[in-house]
Amino acid sequence: MNPQLRDTLATYLKNDNDFRAIYDYTKQRFEVATELTAHNWEHVYRDVLNSIVIGETEGADMSVVLPATVMHDIGFLYGAVGPTHGAVGAERLVEYLQAGKITLSEAKVNHIADCLRTHKGSMHGEVPGTLEAKVVSDADMLEKFGPIGLYQTIRTYTEFNYPAAKVIERLNAFGSLSCQTATGRRLIEGQVEVVIEFARQLSIAYEPYYEEKA
């Protein structure tokens, strides 16, 4: 990832007061939610940088993409579990913004809510309807590929308390994941192999350690 992205993010934060308010408030909310060991601010921050690369290349409306990416996992702040967290985040968005004393137009709130609702994309069979929702989904999908994808996925399945067999089964299925935009597809090219190869080796190494069922 290009180190200049941090400067690009600083410029967006300087020029867009709504985005800065959302960024600061969300950072504060995730930093105190210490039970979210995978869906934490570090994850959100990486997604934001990913969304700049994908969103700018795709010509998306960054005034929607950036706040939506920052808030894409707020469902977890309301106790949602894996499969429902996008929908819960979308449902709680208005109350979340009110709690942060942030006012956006109704059209923008609805557009961002759609991005939250469908951000799992091919992972949960969701179909993002707008370019901005596709960008948010792809920025998050990059977190499943390559070395960072492997690192983040292990953290995620630890947060969910998955047993080893389920971790191996899930990692093995990553070959079927896909992105929504051409830029996302280009960025994940050749990157799933890291995860699949690890899953294959872990599957072999773990075999002697499965406990006999009583």
Q: Which is nearer to Fe ion, 1 or 205 (CB)?
A: 1
- Give least dist CB 213 to Fe ion, A: 33
- Give least dist CB 90 to Fe ion, A: 12
Kindly write out the interface string for residues 56-75 of this chain, putting x where it contacts Fe ion by CB under 5 A and - elsewhere. -----------------x--
Instruction: Rule CB under 5 A: say whether 132 interacts with Fe ion.
Output: no
Q: Which of 147, 198, 191 is nearest to 168 (CA)?
A: 198
Instruction: Rule CB under 5 A: say whether 140 interacts with Fe ion.
Output: yes
Q: At a CB cut-off of 8 Å and minimum separation 6, what does 26 contact?
A: 44, 70, 71, 74, 100
Q: Which is nearer to Fe ion, 177 or 203 (CB)?
A: 177
- Count of residues touching Fe ion (by CB under 5 A): 2
**134-156: buried (b, 16+ CB within 10 Å) or exposed (e) per residue?**
bbbbbbbbbbbbbebbbebbbbb
- Give least dist CB 206 to Fe ion, A: 27
Q: How many degrees, rounded to 5, is the angle at CA 68 between CA 86 and CA 155?
A: 55
Query: Which residues of the chain form contacts with Fe ion (CB under 5 A)?
Result: 73, 140
